Structure 1
Amino acid sequence: MNTSPLLAVIVPVYKVEDYLRECIDSILSQSYTSLRVILVDDGSPDRSGEICEEYAHQDPRVIVVHKENGGQSTARNRGLELAKDATYITFVDSDDYIEPDIYKAAISFLEEHQEVDIVGFGINELRTEGKVYCGESVGRLYSREEALREVTQGFSFKLGPSVWSKVFRQEAIGTIRFREGYVYEDNSFVLEVLHKIKSYYLLPIAGYNYRMGRDGSTTGVFSERMSYLFNNIEELMSRYTRDRDMLLHANTMAVNYLWMYWYQLYLEAPEKYQEITKAFLPYLKRARRRPYLNVAGGRIHAMKTWLFLHAPYLYTRLSLR
């Protein structure tokens, strides 16, 4: 009988029949074997649901849930309900795959360091030219405040807002759930979890293989996604109206992600500068009305905001230097 702590691996599944087997195989072949693999078929119209059932018949560690399509957040929340008795929880997107020893490394560290609530690991970006490692060369321990600052000050695969490059203690998640019906549900979820932890450790190894090119990068997609992001963040802030620390971190995350995506779009299509900027400005003005100057680096962002609003060409020139 396996007496090792149970790790629940939650996998939302939707239209991924070409990648799903590679994903599930990478989980079931882990050197850490005390697993519950929760495959949540989110009403997928292809053969993904059938593939999930095949694995459930082959391995008793696999649980399959079929549900009407409701989006990734609903699938993850369904998985969390089936993981309440697990000691640890992690997530995998069904078109990605993981390295064979990563869960063993993460859980070994968590078992030896009870003061650590989350262990993260680096990723390999799967690009056309091959794998590109994003992570630390040495392990690093983050305090709660350091982890929050790293996540909110700008997107980083080293310690980013995605749930799939982390193993969480059950207690760290508690009753926190993904907001349903929104894109970027990871952001507010991770922010809430980090807000209540003691510390976070980042392993100096790649554990997750992330398939690039899934997100659209057109101006229309940008505007839609920014709307989702801001609505998500504002809903989070509405639940923490008396917690200034959370309000500041949430607003800073929203502002920094605006800068990041605007810059990314501009580099991809500089000839569409006016179009991109027009889509960007409403969200920036929306964020400016909220306080975030006391967050580390806030004054710099305030100056960037002023410069962008009043001298966008100069801002662009300085950004590209």
Structure 2
Amino acid sequence: MSGQADLSDNDDVLRTRMTLGEHLDELRVRLIRSAVCLALVFAAGWMMHERIADAVLAPAEVKAIPWLNQLLLERTTRELVDGGVPGREELELQFRDGPWLDAFESRLLTSTLARGEELENEALVNLVGEPLPAIRNLVHPIPNKLRADASAAGMVFYLKVCFYFAIFLGGPFCLWQVWAFVAAGLYHKEKRVVYVYAPFSMLLFIAGVVFGYYYMVPYAQYFLAEMGLEQFYFDLRLELYLDFFTKLSLGLGIVFQLPILMIVLARTGLVDPRSFGKFRGHFLLGALIFAAILTPPDPYTQLMMAGPMVVLYELGILLARIMVRRSHPESVARAGA
């Protein structure tokens, strides 16, 4: 039976055998199809570029920046309450019921603190002469829109986000074209491996990007800015944010491929699944180094990326053991004996 299967595989390869010129023609057709697909998706994305840009900016403008402004309010409220500033009850009420910022600015500018009247509390006198950074930031809060440094920055940003949109949606079709070109020279067993693992790999990549979009990007922006919030004026630049957004999302998409890689290594016999468990400590160190390369140089973002890698590693160990038991039950029995 195995001999007949080998002959069938050889027949498949022989039927798809082509000359060098035919290979080049096939490659040209595949590349043209991929380019047309990307161009069409890019054009469709350009027709709604503002919506796509809003979605890309949402982790910062809808989550991180409002969180930072709220943190500023909480810190300033505590400072005012500790100093005994008149009107703190109204301030706390506005904080609970919002919109807090306009009400707070109005209250601050008309309060005893802002007018600089004579006060008996020495701490408040010093506060009038040299306002706290948190109060200064609240009068001029963190902008809810990102800053563009050049006149063409907006256009460049729209072009980039539409290009990434085309890559994200058109990428699967382009990968399919690459696979169709390569598969002609592969045996049936080799093709079957790709057909089994490719869908799971794509789902894991999408899961990594989604995890980065909804969790990593906004929380990383928040933690990074929060460290110097009272000392520096936070003003996020458009191009730096997009670079941060794409690197983090792409990096997480790649990181989420870890279980697939571990299963393939175990199924091919290159690595014993038990070896994965023995090298947990080594992997933890490697995960921290890998996260340091892919993320900005701060411990918060690095730990936020390394954490999911450790979880995925443990998941990969479990799945690798299950897959090896199913594919090679006799070797597992011998190892147990």
More helix by share: 2
* Structure ranking higher in strand proportion: 1
Do they fold alike, i.e. is TM over 0.5? no
TM-score, scaled relative to structure 2: 0.27
What TM-score comes out, normalization by structure 1 length?
Answer: 0.28
